[in-house]
Amino acid sequence: MSRKALIAANWKMYKTPVEANVFVDAFLPLVAGHTRDEIALFPSPVLLPTVIGAAKGSNVAVGCQNIHFAEEGAYTGETSIGQLIAVGGTHTLIGHSERRQYFAETDEIVNKKLHTALKHGVVPIVCIGEVLEEREAGKTASVLKTQVTGAFAGITPEAAAPIVIAYEPVWAIGTGKTATPEIAEDAHKVIRAEVAKLLGADVAAAMRILYGGSVKPDNVTSLMAQPDIDGALVGGASLKPDSFEKIVKY
């Protein structure tokens, strides 16, 4: 089963509209004609119209870092799936560890958001990963299985095709401590086996599982060489066009 890799930039709470435009103007020519991998940018919601406008007609998709599970309503500060779609966004991150850590997102909330994204045809990237204490206590596999099971509650094999998973060990995010390719591959195998248990072998074999956590131009190649690593979700090293280009062209 060959899976087309997805290389995604999570800009977190960085860049102004002017800076975002400068990035896209410099980046698009660098990756023009690159078809081996899918490329996606995840800017802050306030940047979405700018980035989507600048990337229009290119090989670079744009999505949200977070959506609310409700269609609309009195949810101050949130972004709805309809708003994302209306401005031309096609993807969304769900359950990033920073959302779980600082905004109390649970597996139950992640599950509701996943249902909302699938219902509206937006490609969801469901983020999971263990914290350092869980890894040191030998609980990585059980944490990942619980997160996958919780996120996928009520999801049928028929509906699951668009889903992408991002494995982001929390101890590797923003720390410069990348998981070794072997550690990452082990985790990806656990995740794929759990997806197979829940949704069947065919769905699991087709599902893309990205790695995230201190991905850089100099470690991406060895990570991408692993059979179960199907792309990267990149924070810090995605903020500069030349650095992200090098990662895209691993």
Residues engaged in binding ligand 13P (CB under 6 A): 10, 96, 168, 173-174, 212-215, 233-237
- Which one from 168, 185, 188, 194 is the annotated catalytic residue? 168
* Residue closer to ligand 13P (CB basis): 156 or 175: 175
CB of 193 to ligand 13P, least distance (A): 23
* Residue closer to ligand 13P (CB basis): 124 or 213: 213
| 38: annotated active-site residue | no
CB of 63 to ligand 13P, least distance (A): 12
* Residue closer to ligand 13P (CB basis): 215 or 224: 215
Q: What is the DSSP string of 154-165?
A: T--TTT-TT-EE
Separation of alpha carbons 246 and 217, rounded Å: 6
- Which one from 96, 105, 130, 134 is the annotated catalytic residue? 96
| 120: annotated active-site residue | no
CB of 168 to ligand 13P, least distance (A): 5
Tokens of 93: 């991150």
Half-sphere exposure of 128 (CA within 13 A, CB side): 30
Cα→Cα distances 205→94, 131, 153, 233, Å? 21, 26, 19, 20
Separation of alpha carbons 153 and 112, rounded Å: 9
> Cβ of 40: how many Cβ atoms within 10 Å?
23
Nearest residue relative to ligand 13P (C-beta): 235
Which residues are part of the catalytic machinery?
Answer: 96, 168
